[in-house]
Amino acid sequence: MSDLNVDQRLKKLNIIREKVASMDIDTKANESMSSAQAGYGDEFVPSDLASQVMGLVRDSSTILSKLPAPIAMPTNPYTLPVEGADMSWYHTAENTDVAGTPATTSKAATDDIVLTAKKQSASVYASGELDDDSIVNIKAYLAAKFAASYGENIDDIILNGDTETGATGNVNLDDAAPTAGTNWLALDGLRKSALVTNTATANINVGTLDIADIRSMRATMGIKGAQPEKLLMIMDYATYYKILGLGQVETVEKFGLNATIVNGVLLAVDGIEVMVSSQMSKTEADGKVSTTGGNNTLGQIILVYREDVITGFRRDLSIFTEYLPVTDQYRWTAHVRFALAIKAADSVAVGRNITV
């Protein structure tokens, strides 16, 4: 082969190399690290974190766990059929002739509740250095933190939800406008139902607490109040410590081996399960919370007929993970769409202005 032919071949080869270098070459499917590849990115994406969190929440004592199971909402809003009023019965005369006397007719009513889901979100950043240097498992740590805060957030909405955004009137902030985006602005909850919506029938001014006050609360609920096994009593810590000392539950001769002087705890009063919630704070005399902490000196009890509190999820808890290479950070973001509805005016009662 002549030198000329060799030179020509080399020139052609160099041209081909230059063209190849300038082209975008498709890589193999597994050549790039991604969240779908075990050993090359998948470990950074805790796809099961949401299920871990929900398991921890279900194991904890939350208000949601004491209520009927939430409904999986196929649409938003979702109209749920519920029982309405009964048909009417009449005293009728005995028939004495062939034609007879027709009975008076009536109808069995139907009713419904509309569940409207509202979105709640949380987002957490962690630096790459923290992931490098931490001596604890960040995924396990975040699962525990998400579970605790998620359970408290849902309880907060169930108890304290109030959509009032004005400068006065919100049960959580009676003398100032709430900050936009505050979690309890999403829906109306149990305290709002008793303190505002149905205040004429469901609101008991207690003062010095006695068992008689609890029974007065039950009386506002009619026949529902006569079914203690279907009721739940929720209170703040100060009120709980006050009720521990009531003579009717404190001593062995009156309360047997369940007396608070024996166990230091109170599981039930009048056959009604007792639950203490960190989401309930002390309040002013009207049962609402003031922005001035010194005004919140009184206790509160919520009595709820469990079956009348309807909850639902349009989207159950979802947690997403992403790595941000520009800042060398990991970001965990959680979303949930939760709905709450209270069936009737006699579903919830409140005892307020309790001296503690």
Provide the residue type at 239 as one letter: T
CA distance linking residue 286 with residue 189, whole number of Å: 17
Q: What percent of the chain has pLDDT over 70?
A: 78
Domain carrying residue 314? 114-355
Mean confidence (pLDDT) of the chain? 83
CATH no. for residue 223? 3.90.1690
Band (260; pLDDT cuts 50, 70, 90) = confident
**Residue 127 has what pLDDT?**
83
Residue 39 within any structural domain of the chain? no
Residue 271 within any structural domain of the chain? yes
Closest CA to 308 of 107, 68, 132: 68
Mean pLDDT, residues 203-210 taken together: 95
Query: Residues 5-24: pLDDT tens digits?
Result: 656 666 666 665 665 455 55
Band (250; pLDDT cuts 50, 70, 90) = low
**Residue 344 has what pLDDT?**
93
**Residue 41 has what pLDDT?**
44
Residue 90 within any structural domain of the chain? no
Q: CA torsion sign, 214 to 219 to 221 to 223?
A: positive
CA-based Rg of the chain, rounded to a whole angstrom?
A: 31
Query: Residues 35-53: pLDDT tens digits?
Result: 444 444 444 444 567 777 7
Query: Residues 95-138: pLDDT tens digits?
Result: 766 666 677 776 666 577 899 999 999 998 888 787 777 777 77
CB-CB neighbours of 344 under 10 Å:
16
Residue 93 within any structural domain of the chain? no
Residue 32 within any structural domain of the chain? no
Residues in contact with 133: Cβ distance below 8 Å, sequence separation at least 6, in sequence order: none
Number of domains into which the chain is organized = 1
Alpha carbon of 233 to those of 215, 245, 274: distances in Å?
12, 17, 5
User: Residue 277 has what DSSP assignment?
Assistant: -
Q: Cis peptide leading into 70, omega within 30 of 0?
A: no
Phi-psi region of 306 (alpha: psi -120 to 50; beta: other; left: phi over 0): alpha
Residue 216 within any structural domain of the chain? yes
Residue 35 within any structural domain of the chain? no
Cα angle: 200, vertex 201, 204; to 5 degrees = 90
Residue 31 within any structural domain of the chain? no
3-state SS class at 187: coil
Max CA distance (Å), the chain = 132
**Residue 155 has what pLDDT?**
93
The structure tokens 């299920």 sit at 51
